[in-house]
């Protein structure tokens, strides 16, 4: 793999070299799909070359992300990097923390390790009583044992307001302190990420038929906002309504056709609310003659399907809007071979 780095990666790498001279923990917030895994591999490469560590151990939310880490680290380190420690390092899912034998945890005390946490916001807590399972393991087994830690996150906050494990917060404001921050605005300016464009869709002629045992009444609404505020219809109902889905998909198909006029293998990403919704969308795309693939947390060998999509001419990929599968797709799709 070429050693050429993006500007932010090179800048963050140099900062990490200085930081690790006097500190153990390094926290990086970088916008999704900006290249955090490559940065982590470069930091590991430097620590190994400087003979500051013996092993690199990574944790990530899913098997698909773990597989991506293994590929990137193998290429950057020019050494075997697998799912066992018969190499310079290994990557594991956070779920695996609950099943490692005692011998695994002694690695952190017997050897010098760089421990990397991908999407660190999944791990909550600063003390064992107010932590989730993964946060507890980090506090009990890694926090005071790892030689160095590197925490990465694209969205460094939690909806339950619990602190993120290993993170530092300002006092009394309670704001997360990042050692390096690379936000979306800067990533767009650098050409690393694309400027998000939001298209609002509404309907001024909505008709809702409400039936009782003996009568049926029709109510008119001038917008989706009015419909949601003045009827029993929920946003979830709209997302699963075939007419709404068809309207949105038709707009997406038109836009993808425009993109393909200049980028022949451009692809489209559809985000579903759950697996059932994903297959509903897939059925509609199939009816329209649109080639597609569905990828979710239950898809066998999902990362292989994503890799295939990156390099073929299939038009659509459908992911589920969860903390796991959606981010897997976004991270793995962010390569120059395919327009998104």
Q: Within this chain, do residues 248 and 328 fall inside the same structural domain, yes or no?
A: yes
Classified as helix, coil or strand, 252 is helix
For residue 217, what are the β-bridge partners?
A: 210
12, 148: one domain: yes
Tell me which residue has tokens 């109902």: 237
Question: Is 239 in the same domain as 321?
Answer: yes
pLDDT digits (tens, 9 = 90+) for 17-42: 999 999 999 999 999 889 999 999 99
Structural domain boundaries, residue 209 = 197-233
- 86 falls in which pLDDT band (50, 70, 90)? low
- By C-alpha distance, which of 154, 152, 150 is closest to 183? 154
Q: Which of 190, 219, 245 is the last residue of a domain?
A: 190
pLDDT in tens, 201-216: 899 999 998 887 778 8
**Which of 164, 190, 216 is the last residue in one of the domains?**
190
pTM: 0.74
Residue 37 and residue 153 share a domain:
yes
Same domain, 249 and 110: no
Listing DSSP states for 133-192 in one string gives HHHHHIIIIITTT-SEEEEEESS---TT-PPBTT-EE-TTT--EE-SEEE-HHHHHHHTS
Distance of alpha carbon 119 from the chain centroid: 7
> CATH code at 178?
3.40.50.300
Distance from CA of residue 13 to its chain's centroid? 21
What is the rounded distance in angstroms from the CA atom of residue 203 to the CA atom of residue 222? 7
Contacts of 308 (CB under 8 A, 6+ apart): 293, 314
Say whether both 210 and 244 belong to one domain. Answer: no
What is the enclosing helix (H) or strand (E) of 168? strand 168-169
CA-nearest of 332, 28, 16, 324 to 167 is 28
* Per-position DSSP letters for 16-35, written without gaps between them: HHHHTTT-SEEEEEE-TTS-
Residue 61 maps to a domain: yes
* Span 275-290, pLDDT tens digits: 999 999 999 999 999 9
Name the domain count of the chain.
3
The 8-class DSSP code of residue 220 comes to E
Taking the C-alpha atoms of residue 165 and residue 136, their distance in angstroms, rounded to an integer, is 9
Last residue of one domain, picked from the residues 190, 217, 247? 190
Residue 302 and residue 226 share a domain: no
In this predicted structure, the answer to whether residue 126 has a pLDDT above a threshold of 80 is no
């Amino acid at each position: 793999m070429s050693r050429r780095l993006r500007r932010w990666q090179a800048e963050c790498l140099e900062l990490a070299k200085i930081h690790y001279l006097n500190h153990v923990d390094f926290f990086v917030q970088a916008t999704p799909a900006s290249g955090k895994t490559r940065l982590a591999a470069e930091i590991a490469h430097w620590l190994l070359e400087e003979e500051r560590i013996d092993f690199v151990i990574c944790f990530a939310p899913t098997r698909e992300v773990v597989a991506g880490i293994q590929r990137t680290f193998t290429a950057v380190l020019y050494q075997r990097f697998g799912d066992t420690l018969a190499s310079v390092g290994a990557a594991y899912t956070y779920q695996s923390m609950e099943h490692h034998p005692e011998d695994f945890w002694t690695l952190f005390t017997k050897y010098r390790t760089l421990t990397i946490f991908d999407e660190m916001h999944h791990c909550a807590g600063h003390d064992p009583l107010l932590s989730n399972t993964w946060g507890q393991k980090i506090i009990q087994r890694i926090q005071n044992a790892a030689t160095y830690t590197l925490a990465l996150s694209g969205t460094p906050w939690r909806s339950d307001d619990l602190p993120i494990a290993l993170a530092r917060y300002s006092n009394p404001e309670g704001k997360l302190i990042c050692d390096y921050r690379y936000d979306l605005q800067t990533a767009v300016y650098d050409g690393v990420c694309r400027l998000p464009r939001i298209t609002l869709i509404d309907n001024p002629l909505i008709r809702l038929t409400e039936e009782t045992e003996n009568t049926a009444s029709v109510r008119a609404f001038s917008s989706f906002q009015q419909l949601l505020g003045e009827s029993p219809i929920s946003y979830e109902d709209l997302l699963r309504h075939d007419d709404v889905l068809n309207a949105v998909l038709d707009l997406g198909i038109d836009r993808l056709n425009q993109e393909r006029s200049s980028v022949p293998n451009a692809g489209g990403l559809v985000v579903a609310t759950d697996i059932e919704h994903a297959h509903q969308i897939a059925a509609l795309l199939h009816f329209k003659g649109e080639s597609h693939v569905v990828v979710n947390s239950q898809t066998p060998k999902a990362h292989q399907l994503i890799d295939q999509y990156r390099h073929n001419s299939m038009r659509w990929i459908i992911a589920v809007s969860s903390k796991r599968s959606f981010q897997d797709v976004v991270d793995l799709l962010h390569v120059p071979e395919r327009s998104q």
